[in-house]
Structure 1
Amino acid sequence: MVSATKKTVDTRRFYHNTGQLFADQYYHIYNARLLESRESLIRNSRFRWGDEVKNVPLEQLNSSLGSTDVFVIGTLFKLMPKQPSILRELEENEAVVTDPNHNFTKDEDTLILHETDENVRVVGDIDVSMHVTGIPVSLLGNQLDGGAKFHVKDVCYAGLNLSVYKEPKKTEKVGGKSQDERLLIISGLEFGFDFITSKDRTNEIVAALKKLRNFVTGTSTKEEVNGFNGTKISRIIIAGNSIASGYAKAKSEYLGSSESKDTRSLTEVFELFDKYLFTLAQSGAIIDLMPGKNDPTSFLLPQQPLHPKILPKSGVLENIHPTTNPALIEHNDLLFLGTSGENVLAIKQYSKIEHSTTILRSTLEWGHIAPSAPDNLSCVPFKGKDPFIIDFAPDVYFAGNQPEFLIDTYSTEDKSKIQIVSVPSFVNTLTCVLVDPSNLEVEPICFAEK
């Protein structure tokens, strides 16, 4: 693969002025996505198939080409009979499917390639089940049925433009030994969880939260963090869903108080989280606070930072950094790109890609964080740009609120290692993820009772 010219990554790419955006329609974002990906698709196609293969616009795809191999560029759209439709549900009086584990794929699913105002049905050597709507692609093959169909022989994606690559800094040495510095990634704290958990499970989560606090502030016992004693946490990334979806009730045991209430409002639950966040911040670690689908901010991606007014205690601290979802965080010349997991769930529901890390790897190959937005994942109707395009190479790429801890790596000719991390939901697994910035090694740390 040929690299693009190196450039500076805009770490504020996911921030936006909402009031200026909603006069536009959603088709603009697909046009912007294809326009921004086209150069990479053509470059990668030439590298993969050679300069002798001709690129043909869809409008020129007709019987005059015969069986000649050409490549076409466009955006995939997946036609799915089982895909939820509000109008169909109203017409047939069916309930909306809300199970996040429900999969909408079917053997009858088909793919359409769209370019500007032209469409062609895609057949041949392309696995429909492993793709979703919104992926910019280049397809090698030949026309069929006078250009009504395109028979695929090979597929090429935009991938990473590799516009930025920075070597990880070596950890500083003190007294001949390297500092045991780590970054901690947490997701799914879900304050208010006791509304939907049993008393015994609530006690387990509360105990784990206390151990987590002690670990971050350096007051843990050996039994609490076996094998991680002396670890200094320099940065904490909280990857969404700090508030539970069922938040009507939350006990003050979170804070070790003897006071108890049966029910609490969202404001009161968030006050508990604010106080807990304040205790974590006393460690001096930088804390990047990402929102998630359960948290009080717009549900449209990219979600904007939580408003400081709902964090009256911790929000005024200099080391608390409310940020976006997705988030792009720079730490000692390392780039951390991550989401709270909505993109992974959407792809899991509309394809047969099973594992979180496989999905994340696929989005790197596709060159897009959330291709199914806006079709199957709500997002802002951007015009003239698509901030979800991955036109840089992150060092760590993660998704929060996953069912389990998993890791993988992705490499290119220009970048030897991109660490891919599936960050488990804390409330479900009592587990966080530690990242060593010196070598990008990742390991889980569990706070469950031994």
Structure 2
Amino acid sequence: MKAKVLDIQGKEPCWAIGTVYCELKYKPNILEEVINDVYRAPDLTKSYTDPEGSDEIMLEDESGRVLLVGENIRATPFITGAVIGVLGMEADAGTFQVLDICYPIPIPQKPLSLSPGRSAVAGNKKIAVVSGLNISTTSPRRLLKLQLLQEYLTGNLCSPELISNIGKLLVCGDSLSFKFDTSSSGELVNCLSTLGNFLSNVTQSIPVALMPGAKDPSNRSLPQKPLHKALFSQTLGAHLEEVNRDVLKLVTNPYYFHIEGLEILATAGQSINDICKYLIPNQGSSQEEDTIEHRLDLMECTMKWQNIAPTVPDTLWAYPFPSSDPFLLDEWPHVYIVGNQPGYGFRDLDVHGRKIKLISIPVFSSTGDVVLLDLTTLETEVINIGA
């Protein structure tokens, strides 16, 4: 194994370890965005790739970069920021023919605790997960869906016994549909009031954890801070008092929490959405390439890379941490939830004997889907709230 990528010598098979860097034709430049003062501008780019094949994938360390080539490059997702090891040999000067790939050594995972809730045979506890409410006071259809969701979660659309097993509602970001460049402040106030009334009614039945997302009035850079209490002072004043902190939690994105012996990691989906742009062809067939299985593949990759946001800060805004990376995993969760995806999907992942449940949560405003996760069996169920 070579200590540095620049130590690679011709025709000598070796291992090299480094960080992947992708030079893509349509990849945005964050420094230029800052200089041109377009920090809050929406990202309309669907793909960073060049259909003509000019993109390059490199492995870099403190000594320099080497260009990666070979069939494995096309068969395996290579994303900026992922730390990997590659086996191969120098093909031409400055290029490395990749024959095999390895990932970081396994990290620990807490054993599933046998809490009373997990050992119960009947009456299994569940959590409801939803994302992408995209509340807009100018869209009657979305408001109707939101009302039906409220009626379901409060037990008015189904048997109260079924709802009694739901111990928590997790909202994975993008609760509002508000454009900072064109929408008025009055429209934002109306959207926040609608969201606040929804939360006030639902919390009478079940506790709620509310995460921010890309469209919500929170900091754009990751990790996102919780939505500020002042945004809901008119509708949720009593719920935000210290005595009610377990009823309504305004949480961060990403959100790591413990419930019924499970370690659950949830994100609002910005990272997976950004990673997709590194791989989806920049042409008409991009929708065919971007399937839910493809998204689950990328979620699996982030677990193997042990980094849930590798493209930070290259193409995804992030707060600079001088001595640590908050997106690196110290241990694997039992459940990994990603919100605001095109559709629902799940996968049971086994990484070196550690089992992880991957769950893709669809955009509610488009699909009307709510996902129920059984905390005992880790089985999932989709409830469609049609409107």
TM-score scaled to structure 2, two decimals? 0.84
Equivalent AA in structure 1 for residue 61 of structure 2 = E
**Residues 256-275 of structure 1: matches in 2 within 5 Å?**
264-275=186-197
**What are the superposed Cα offsets for residues 58-80 of structure 1, whole Å, 9 maximum, x if unpaired?**
24223xxx423211111111111
Q: Tell me the SS of whatever aligns to 1:264.
A: helix
RMSD (CA atoms): 3.0
Residue 124 of structure 2 corresponds to residue 206 of structure 1: no
1:145 and 1:387, CA in 2 relative to 1: closer, same or farther beyond 3 A? same
Q: Distance in 2 between matches of 1:125 and 1:293?
A: 35
CA contact (8 A) 2:58 2:66 kept: yes
Alpha-carbon shift at residue 99 of structure 1 (Å): 6.5
Residue 83 of structure 1 and its aligned partner are, at CA, apart by: 2.1
Q: How many residues are treated as equivalent by the alignment?
A: 360
Q: Which runs of 5+ in 2 are unaligned?
A: 34-40, 281-288
Specify every segment of 5 or more residues in structure 1 that has no aligned partner in the other structure, as ranges.
1-53, 90-96, 251-261
Distance (Å, rounded) in 2 between the aligned partners of 1:369 and 1:395: 15
* Rounded Cα–Cα distance in structure 2 between residues aligned with 1:109 and 1:168: 50
The letter for the 2-side match of 1:447 is I
2:265 is equivalent to residue 337 of structure 1:
yes
1:25-36 matches, within 5 Å, as none
> Could you say which residue in structure 2 is the equivalent of 1:298?
219
Aligned to 1:242: 175
Paired residues for 1:123-162 under 5 Å: 123-128=69-74, 130-145=77-92, 148-158=94-104, 160-162=106-108
Residue in structure 2 matching 1:429, options 323, 347, 367: 367
**Secondary structure of 2:240 counterpart:** coil
Distance 1:145 1:249 in 2: 52
Give how far 1:170 is off. Answer: 6.1
Does the aligned pair in 1 maintain the 2:178–2:188 contact within 8 Å?
no
Cα distance in 2 for residues equivalent to 1:320 and 1:208: 21
Task: Check conservation: 1:100, 1:345, Cα contact below 8 A.
Answer: no
> Residue 356 of structure 1 aligns with which residue?
295
CA distance in structure 1 between the partners assigned to 2:209 and 2:256 by the alignment:
10
Selected match of 1:378 from 296, 317, 321: 317
The 8 Å contact of residues 254 and 268 in structure 2, kept in 1 or not, is answered as yes
AA aligned to 1:448 is G
Shift of 1:140: 0.8
Distance in 2 between the 1:168 and 1:186 partners?
Answer: 27
Aligned to 2:384: 446
Give the 3-state SS of the residue equivalent to 1:56 in structure 2. Answer: coil
Taking a change above 3 Å as real, the CA distance of residues 247 and 183 of structure 1, as seen in their structure-2 partners, is farther
2:200: which partner in 1? 278
Does the 8 Å CA contact 1:248/1:266 hold for their aligned counterparts?
Answer: no
Q: Higher mean Cα deviation, 67-76 or 205-214?
A: 205-214
Q: CA deviation at 1:121?
A: 1.4
Equivalent in the alignment of 1:315: 240
Give the distance between the partners of 2:145 and 2:87, measured in 1 at CA. Answer: 53
User: Structure 2 vs 1, CA of residues 180 and 249 (structure 1 numbering), >3 Å: closer, same or farther?
Assistant: farther
In structure 1, distance between residues paired with 2:114 and 2:375: 7
Distance 1:248 1:266, change over 3 A: farther
TM superposition shift of 1:307: 1.4
Given residue 405 of structure 1, which amino acid in structure 2 is its aligned partner? Y
CA distance in 2, matches of 1:364, 1:159: 12
Assess if the C-alpha contact under 8 Å between 2:59 and 2:66 holds in 1: yes
CA contact (8 A) 1:248 1:263 kept: no
Q: Deviations over 1:366-393 (max 9, x none)?
A: 2110111111111112222111112211
Residue-by-residue CA offset, 1:94-140 (whole Å, 9 max, x unaligned): xxx96657222122211111111321111224325722211111111
**Structure 2 counterpart of 1:401:** 340
Cα distance, 1:165–1:84 mapped onto 2, change above 3 Å: same
CA contact (8 A) 1:173 1:179 kept: no
SS in 1 for 2:27: coil
Q: What are the equivalent positions in structure 2 for 1:51-130 lying under 5 Å apart?
A: 54-62=1-9, 66-85=10-29, 100=44, 102-106=46-50, 107-128=53-74, 130=77
Q: 1:374 to 1:88 in 2, by over 3 A?
A: closer
Distance 1:160 1:337 in 2: 18
CA contact (8 A) 2:369 2:385 kept: yes
Name the CA shift for 1:230/1:98 in 2 (closer, same or farther; >3 Å): closer
Provide the rounded CA distance (Å) in 1 between the counterparts of 2:306 and 2:56: 22
- Superposed displacement of residue 326, structure 1: 0.9
What percent of counterpart residues are identical? 26
Work out the CA distance in 2 between the residues paired with 1:231 and 1:101.
43
Answer with 1 or 2: which has the greater Rg. 1
Which residue does 1:46 correspond to in 2? none
Q: Does 1:189 align with 2:133?
A: yes
1:206/1:81 CA distance change after superposition, 3 Å: closer
